Amino acid sequence: MEAAELRVGFVGAGRMAGGLARGLLRAGKVPASSILASAPTDKNLDAWRESGCRTTHCNLEVLQESTLVFLATKPHVLPGVLQEIRPAVGPHHIVVSLVAGVTLQTLQRAGAMVFTRGSGAGDGEAALLKNLLSSCGLCEEVPESYINIHTGLSGSGVAYVYLFAEALAEGAVKMGMPSGLASRIAAQTLLGAAKVMLETGEHPAKLRGDVCTPGGTTIHALHQLEKGALRATVMNAVEVATNRACDMAED
């Protein structure tokens, strides 16, 4: 099935679903008229209508009108939704359950997603999904055991980066730079570093070493970060976030 022929449905119309829909629309993968979103009330549906998408209060209507369906509800709501829509799921449907840890809050700005195919999904369905989701940023197919790790690394990792950016900018403010300028430079520094990682494929340790002049400013600064156990602290953060994601999945 070609992406242009898809009729895409969203059961749930919150920020997760909205971020993905905006990415698909921006990339021209699916026309707005081919997107249908459902929610219990109009609270989250107005923005969808403004984008030209169709809306409904009936989850079953999404199944009836769509070939690709994203389940974008809160985890505690999902079991009830699955029970409701199960009778309407047919062999022509591709159903994707979205997990909070897929960084959907940043999808419209090149986020990162991973997905795992179910036993009924083949190579064609996986290729189609990756094609669609890649319009929103990096998308990789992974074993199911990686899903919670991705939450700890990327889903929660956005907050780690914001915290680091804040500290980076405040260091410059401490030394006399205006806050707004410091924040813009910090953001551009992070963006530039991320682009080099992606474009070169080099290990971060090598890239870090490449910018360290013997006896220079960078190596002195890195020594201070090592004293503060920055790497161990970040590794611990990814670990506890991953473990928390595992605990939530079992609740």
User: What structural domains does the chain harbor?
Assistant: 3-143 (3.40.50.720), 154-250 (1.10.3730.10)
Largest CA distance in the chain: 68
Q: What is the structure's pLDDT at 100?
A: 54
What single-letter amino acid sits at 13?
A
With H, G, I as helix, E, B as strand and everything else as coil, classify residue 95: strand
Q: Is 167 exposed, middle or buried (0-12, 13-18, 19+ CB in 10 A)?
A: exposed
Radius of gyration of the chain (CA): 21
Q: What is the structure's pLDDT at 104?
A: 43
Q: What is the structure's pLDDT at 110?
A: 58
Distance of CA 173 to the CA centre of its chain: 31
Instruction: Measure the CA–CA gap between 49 and 251, rounded to whole angstroms.
Output: 35
pLDDT by position in tens, the chain (length 251): 555 578 999 999 988 888 889 888 988 889 999 999 999 999 889 999 999 999 999 999 999 999 999 998 887 888 899 999 988 888 888 888 876 544 444 444 557 888 888 877 888 888 988 888 887 778 889 999 998 999 899 888 989 999 999 999 999 999 999 999 999 999 999 999 999 999 999 999 999 999 999 999 999 999 999 999 999 999 999 999 999 988 887 76
Q: What is the structure's pLDDT at 27?
A: 86
Q: What is the structure's pLDDT at 137?
A: 79
Instruction: Measure the CA–CA gap between 160 and 154, rounded to whole angstroms.
Output: 9
Q: What is the structure's pLDDT at 107?
A: 47
